[in-house]
Structure 1
Amino acid sequence: MKKIGYVALASALVFGFSSAVWSPAASAAETVTTIQPINLAVGGTVTASGENGVAEGKNKAFDQYVFSKWLTFDTPAWLQYEFTTAKIVNSYSITTAEDAPDRDPKNWVLKGSINGIDWDVLDTQQNQFAGATRHLKKTYSFTNTTAYKFIKFENITNQLGNNQLLQLSEIGLYGPDVQTFKTIKPTVTASGENAPTDVKANLVDGTSTTKWLTYSNTAWLQFDFGEQVTIDGYALTSAKSNNNTADADPKNWVLQGSNNGTSWTNLDTQSNQNFSLRHQRKHYLLNANTTAYQYYRLNNIQNHSGYTTQLSEVEFSRTNDMWHTENPIIEIQNLAGYAPFNQALPDAQRDILAILRKVNEILYKSPEDMPVRVKKIVVQIEDVPGAAWISGDNEVKTLGISSQHLAYFAANTSSLRDEIIGMLYHELGHAYQYSNFDVEAVADSLRFAAGYHNRYGISPGGAWYNTGTANFIRWIEDTKYRGFIRALNATSSPYGLDANQFQAWKESRFLSITGIDVNTLWNQYQQSLTSN
């Protein structure tokens, strides 16, 4: 039996290709199970009837990078994938390229072979991708239990059937095996809380607009995952206070783990911590922790001053969560020899991995929805003007940081680490974002969301498309539509728009996502700036 499924990348990024079902776990922790297909087309050998050089060559069809493509000048064409060992394939996906809809595949035959000589027909498709949007991904399923070493697409024609150009962005090959991941929302207990508003449950509700507060200058928080989990780090996010001061922020604490709730092991100790901005997310890395615990506790929490202690969010980085599947090689090249960078990020590789995983968690529902999987990121500290920049493809992204900017910032502010982390949120956003909707604003909205720009230091005025768009996007995320940044990132503009049409498309995104037109949203945002 054959099955065909298709989804525009826009829908895929919002709703996901993976399946998820909420179920209760032990001790009332909430668990969501995410099931993702495994793309088998990794590390094999690709051959084809033709290609447009290396830039648009045959390997681009299997590089897990939606912004590249395979193009050939003659059709009907064929494209073959050879596994290193035979695999059972019972479904596949094809994604259209970024331009020229006439070049999309229309008809093809899929075959499998054990020896590369004798072929079995697995699937035949006709009249596909008519009027397709750009980067439209269609999935095709069929019944098969035979492991083949070769998979071949034959007699591929384009939409015009004119024996000329053919192109596609990506092909995925899938079998019966899947990956299963758990996302667990732990149950929280605390030494105290300010019911009914500033309660402990707010610490795991996924937004920094709520908070936990207790009327004490010392406190503890305990998190029960309902099962044993291993973590390699955690993050705390500061909360908003009436006077926007840091007095109630945690300053000192000890992170502990336990499997019975009675005997505790110290995992991390922090002292003299400072959250320079409200809603600021600080992550902390654990060194060589391999023990799984059911309970984690922030103990001996001490504030900076006064009689209250507060936080907005507490997160734990589980070593087997789905975001750890994004694990590019990180290489640091301090070409400028700027020692303060090394001092600010002594474990820069792991810091960058922690940040890019959070970036992708904001931009996508699951890793299966990511159109870009980066293999290597090279960070270069250079003695040049500017601030930070990024370039490259999924094979290698080069992220540059100006030592001149860092030196100026270090001389005029208190935390060089905060500035570097803020820049990393922005530039890693560029590394992974999909949509062409105001790419700078969306990337900077990630920095605002993580609390590395001051969202309360903005004056009213201007227009939504040229003044403070990044914080405007963040404000909508926090107050109007949870997941707005992800939804904006999910769709690129239709092919062939002129400047006026592109602007109209951008405006339409606000209404289609939130149900509110952009001018109404902008006016409400302006009013919020006067009341901060």
Structure 2
Amino acid sequence: MTNLHFFSLSLLAVVTLTVTINGIHPINVYDFDNRAGSSAGYVRFNREIGVPYARQTLITATYDIWRWFEQYSAAQRKDINRLVLILENFPDSQVQVPPYATTNEIHLNGRYIASYSGDVKREITGVLYHELTHVLQWNGNGRAPGWLIEGIADYVRLRSGYIPSNWVKPGGGDSFYKEYDVTARFLDYCTGLRSNFVAELNKKLRPTGYVDDYFRQLLGKTVYQLWDDYKRTYAG
């Protein structure tokens, strides 16, 4: 059952959606908070994306990420009851700074949206998949390396189908440590070796810490051997 509570954004900056999922609802409320006023970023967001689309994208992405992470019950997921999408204008010097996520918030840069050249709706859809992954994924209690955390988030974006045209091609990059699209492509290769690889890797990040040996435990080879295999596969 879905209960919608709509308010005019000119009167109230928060739109709330209450979602009940088969009686189990780790995320009960999806909120939108406009802190960008009537700026160009807000105007473009409202015209080309819109709160209803962004909200529905987050709901769909939540289901997708839980499925891809094989988190089929509330006990397997993070205990998050409320997610807030915040539109704000980052400082003038940070026009191109991308969004970021905290424990239960996703912050969109209004200046980035205003200045983006291209299909901004498609771009932000991919961004929401990436940033929502940070909200939902396990991170070794903050001790997992950044390259892996960002790589998993971009792997989810890759699976969503909303990736930029300037992403590295499969087999590209100098190291799996490069983060983002390079690591995402490598994780996608690993998933070809074991279909639930990223899900199992994410499960291993639920306790504290991370070790490279997780790759060997799941795929029988070290991460360095797997990277060499990956490079050779696409070089051929």
The TM-score with structure 2 as length reference comes to 0.72
Go from structure 1 to structure 2 and tell me whether the alpha carbon gap of 1:367 and 1:494 turns closer, same or farther (over 3 Å shift). closer
Map 1:401-412 onto structure 2 (within 5 A): 401-409=108-116, 412=117
Which residue does the alignment assign to 1:238? none
Query: Which structure has the larger Rg over C-alpha atoms?
Result: 1
* CA–CA separation in structure 2 for the residues paired with 1:459 and 1:521: 12
- 2:189 aligned residue: 475
**Mean alpha-carbon deviation: is it higher for 319-328 or for 366-375?**
319-328
1:484-510 per-position Cα deviation (integer Å, ceiling 9, x unaligned):
111110013875x7xxxx5xx1x2111
* Corresponding residue to 1:434 among 133, 138, 145: 138
| 1:371-450 equivalent positions in 2, closer than 5 A | 371-384=77-90, 385=94, 386-392=97-103, 397-409=104-116, 412-413=117-118, 415-436=119-140, 437=144, 438-450=148-160
Cα distance, 1:433 vs structure 2: 0.8
Report whether the alignment pairs 1:343 with 2:47: yes
Counterpart amino acid of 2:197?
Answer: F
Report deviation, 1:361: 1.4
**Letter paired with 2:214:** R
Cα distance in 2, alignment partners of residues 350 and 460 from structure 1: 33
> Per the alignment, in what secondary structure is the counterpart of residue 516 of structure 1?
coil
Q: CA–CA distance in 2 between the matches of 1:343 and 1:511?
A: 48
CA distance in 2, matches of 1:329, 1:494: 27
Counterparts of 1:290-329 in structure 2, within 5 Å, are 325-329=25-29
Report the equivalent of 1:364. Answer: 70
How far is the alpha carbon of 1:456 from its aligned partner? 5.9
Counterpart in 1 of 2:174? 462
Post-superposition offset of 1:526: 1.6
Structure 1 position 327, deviation (Å): 4.1
When residues 324 and 447 of structure 1 are mapped into structure 2, their CA distance, relative to the original with a 3 A threshold, is farther
Q: Distance in 1 between matches of 2:108 and 2:234?
A: 31
On the 8 A contact 2:186/2:230 being kept in 1, the answer is yes
Structure that is richer in helix per residue: 2
Distance 1:494 1:321, change over 3 A: closer
1:487 aligned onto 2:187: no
Aligned AA (1:358): D
Q: Deviations along 1:406-440, whole A, 9 cap, x unmatched?
A: 1222xx22x11111111111111111111334322
TM-aligned CA deviation for residue 388 of structure 1 = 0.7
Aligned length, in residue pairs: 198
Q: What is the CA distance between 1:530 and its match in structure 2?
A: 4.1
1:517 maps onto 2:225 in alignment: no
Q: Which runs of 5+ in 1 are unaligned?
A: 1-318
Kindly provide the amino acid, as one letter, of the partner of residue 515 in structure 1: G
- When the two structures are superposed, what TM-score results if normalisation uses the length of structure 1? 0.34
Partners of 1:435 and 1:488 within 8 A in 2:
no
Query: What letter matches 1:350 in structure 2?
Result: Q
CA contact (8 A) 1:323 1:357 kept: no
For residues 326 and 378 of structure 1, the distance between their equivalents in structure 2, rounded to whole angstroms, comes to 14
Whether the aligned pair in 1 keeps the contact of 2:171 and 2:185 (CA below 8 Å) is no
| Match in the other structure for 1:332 | 32
Flag the 1:328–1:345 CA change in 2: closer, same or farther, 3 A. farther
User: Higher relative contact order at CA 8 Å, sep ≥6: structure 1 or structure 2?
Assistant: 2
TM superposition shift of 1:473: 1.0
String of CA shifts for 1:58-111, please: whole Å, max 9, x gaps: xxxxxxxxxxxxxxxxxxxxxxxxxxxxxxxxxxxxxxxxxxxxxxxxxxxxxx
Letter in 2 for 1:460: G
The answer as to whether partners of 1:389 and 1:400 remain within 8 angstroms in 2 is yes
Distance 1:324 1:352, change over 3 A: farther
Secondary structure of the equivalent of 2:194? coil
SS of alignment partner, residue 55 of structure 2 = helix
Q: Which amino acid aligns with 1:452?
A: Y
For structure 2, list consecutive stretches of 5 or more residues without a partner in the other structure: 1-18
Q: Cα RMSD (Å) of the superposition?
A: 2.9
Which deviations, in whole Å up to 9, do the C-alpha atoms of 1:344-372 show, x marking residues without a partner? 33312222111122112112341234341
**Could you say which structure has the higher strand fraction?**
1
- 1:381 partner SS: strand
Q: Give the direction of change, closer, same or farther, for the CA distance of 1:322–1:463 in structure 2 (3 Å limit).
A: farther
The letter of the residue matching 1:408 is S
**Counterpart in 2 of 1:207?**
none
Q: Distance in 2 between matches of 1:480 and 1:399?
A: 32
Deviation string for 1:245-275 (max 9, x for gaps)?
A: xxxxxxxxxxxxxxxxxxxxxxxxxxxxxxx
Is the 2:101–2:131 Cα contact (8 Å) retained in structure 1? yes
Q: Closer, same or farther in 2 for the Cα pair 1:351/1:463, shift >3 Å?
A: closer
Identity between Structure 1 and Structure 2 (%):
20
Aligned-partner residue type, residue 449 of structure 1:
R
Amino acid corresponding to residue 522 of structure 1 in structure 2: W
